[in-house]
């Protein structure tokens, strides 16, 4: 059996985003997509068919500059991945945040049971949403989105301007993530912020998106986490753990 291609870590000093038209779906693909989506919603009623941006292409524009082509779609389109023979499915486009501690730890979180990826460990982040009419999807918008995800999932209210573009990941299924680096923070403060967030979320009748967080310092510690993790996590942890990182 052929091994899937390795996750790529792409250096990026700049990222430019270009909107493209969505692919055409055949009647059969649309019908199958709707059926698979409805089955998924029956299994997890918290799923919603909200707007999202999907990746249509990635190109190198100049040394350490990348062009990400994207299109407007909704979460329903992700069901195409589970339709045998479908050719119009598109990889995800997402942001993530590497939140280090001041002693070279890295914050990771486990997705709660009610999310689309229950039990999965990952960095704070989420799928990119298309902009409102009259607004641009650019690097500044990605940075704002990453800061919002960090706050919503961990309680850390780091401002967008404090996040530094670090690299771009491309996973085995083609999903592309724009990774930002947050300023180091004491581990005790990160735990306090998450605990405060979880208390507020539970008081409002629902839990946080991360039902647990952990601080890891090397790829070897991923094996001790109780559950699977996203494909980009191990190479990102390894990269950030390098002395020159």
26-46 pLDDT, tens digit per residue, is 899 999 999 999 999 999 888
- Contacts of residues 35-44 at CB distance under 8 Å and 24 or more positions apart, as own/partner, are 36/79, 36/80, 36/82, 36/83, 37/76, 37/79, 40/79, 44/114, 44/116
Percent of the chain with pLDDT over 70: 97
- pLDDT over 90 at 86, yes or no: no
Read off the pLDDT band of 112 (50, 70, 90). Answer: very high
Domains of the chain: 8-241 (3.90.79.10)
Q: Smallest Cα–Cα separation from 55: which of 81, 37, 73?
A: 73
- pLDDT over 60 at 1, yes or no: no
181-197 pLDDT, tens digit per residue, is 999 999 999 999 999 99
User: How far is residue 8's CA from residue 54's CA, in Å, rounded to a whole number?
Assistant: 18
CB 197 within 8 A of CB 208: yes
Contacts of 120 (CB under 8 A, 6+ apart): 110, 111, 227, 228, 229, 230
Q: In the predicted model, what is the mean pLDDT of residues 174-179?
A: 96
58-82 pLDDT, tens digit per residue, is 999 888 899 999 999 999 999 998 8
User: How far is residue 38's CA from residue 21's CA, in Å, rounded to a whole number?
Assistant: 25
| pLDDT of 2 | 44
Bridge partners of 126, per DSSP, are 95
């Amino acid at each position: 059996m052929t091994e899937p291609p390795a996750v790529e870590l792409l250096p990026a000093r700049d990222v430019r985003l270009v909107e493209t038209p969505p692919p055409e779906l055949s009647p059969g693909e649309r019908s199958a997509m709707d059926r698979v989506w409805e089955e998924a919603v029956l299994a997890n009623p918290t799923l919603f068919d909200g707007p999202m941006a999907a990746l249509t292409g990635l190109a190198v524009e100049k040394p350490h500059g990348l062009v990400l082509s994207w299109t407007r779609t909704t979460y329903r389109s992700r069901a195409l991945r589970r339709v045998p023979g479908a050719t119009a499915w598109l990889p995800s486009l997402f942001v993530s945040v590497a939140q280090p501690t001041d002693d070279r730890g890295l914050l990771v979180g486990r997705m709660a049971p009610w999310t689309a990826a229950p039990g999965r460990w990952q960095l704070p982040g989420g799928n990119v949403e298309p902009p409102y009419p009259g607004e641009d999807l650019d690097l500044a918008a990605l940075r704002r989105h990453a800061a919002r995800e960090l706050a919503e999932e961990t309680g850390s209210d780091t401002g967008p301007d404090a996040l530094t573009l670090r690299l771009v990941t491309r996973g085995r299924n083609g999903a592309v993530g724009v990774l930002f680096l947050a300023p180091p923070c004491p581990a005790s403060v990160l735990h306090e912020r998450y605990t405060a967030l979880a208390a507020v979320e539970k008081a409002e009748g629902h839990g946080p998106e991360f039902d647990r967080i952990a601080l890891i310092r090397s790829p070897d510690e991923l094996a001790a986490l109780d559950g699977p993790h996203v494909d980009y996590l191990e190479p990102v942890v390894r990269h950030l753990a390098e002395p020159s990182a």
